[in-house]
Amino acid sequence: MNTNIRVIFFILCLSINLFAQRAIKLLTGEWPPYTSESEVKGKMAEGIVTEAFRLEGVTVSYEYYPWKRSYRSAKEGLGIGTFPWYKSKEREKDFIVTKEPLLKVKNVFFHLKSLNFRWENYDDLKKYTIGGTIGYTDAALLQSKGLDVQLVPREELNLKKLLKHRMDITPSSIATAYYFINKLFTKEERALFTYHPKAIFDSEMYMLISKNIPDAQELADTFDQGLIRLKKSGRYDQIIAEFLSP
């Protein structure tokens, strides 16, 4: 190997190593058990993201804001990206959406067992009082269908209102609703809740990488590689089981 080739090889290895040792900041919000600033059992998605990036030599720190602010700030490049989000045309304009799904989430309607709740289409929901959470995709979807949704700033408030008969139904991911039900209510109160099996939507969620940062596509590819490795190793399923266990 001549001197010029050695120099080129050294520079290439150095640049790869610098990227591999990169420290990044991601923006997210409060949505246990997937993301949480303070809840120990509320950081499932963060655990997955941390370990996926770590496999590729990238360390991650997190900042927590209301979801709309996290999205807006990440779009402007104030953080590397934000997660977890459903894929949409608007988000694909603002961000690089990673190819590998971070989570699969089923959203349904929760209600009290005392309510004989049935629905097949959105017109069926007009006779019910519906609660939703500000900035959440499910609430926005219901509003886009012409439904009146009473919005609150935190998802757990909807479950409290359900228990007090101040609303009839509220959309939630199954894991999130049961996280709060198990945390907030007594054994007798927990037994009063149920959900309708028909999904509002059953979709995958992704990491969004800001287009306003250098090396955005490279970082998205790095995350995809790490997440694929994490899933193949079996550790991905272990993380989910750890956070969903009692």
pLDDT tens sequence across 169-221: 999 999 999 999 999 999 999 999 999 999 998 889 999 999 999 899 999 99
Statement to judge: residues 97 and 210 lie in one domain: yes
CA distance 240 to 67: 22
Per-residue pLDDT at 14: 44
Domain extent for 57: 3-102+205-244
The CATH number assigned to the domain holding 189 equals 3.40.190.10
What percent of the chain stands above pLDDT 70? 91
- pLDDT average, residue stretch 135-157: 94
Statement to judge: residues 64 and 43 lie in one domain: yes
Q: Which of 172, 168, 134, 130 is nearest to 147 (CA)?
A: 130
Say how many domains are in the chain.
2
Statement to judge: residues 94 and 214 lie in one domain: yes
Per-residue pLDDT at 243: 86
Contact between residue 143 and residue 149 where contact means Cβ atoms under 8 Å apart: yes
Provide the whole-model pTM: 0.76
- pLDDT average, residue stretch 153-168: 96
Statement to judge: residues 196 and 210 lie in one domain: no
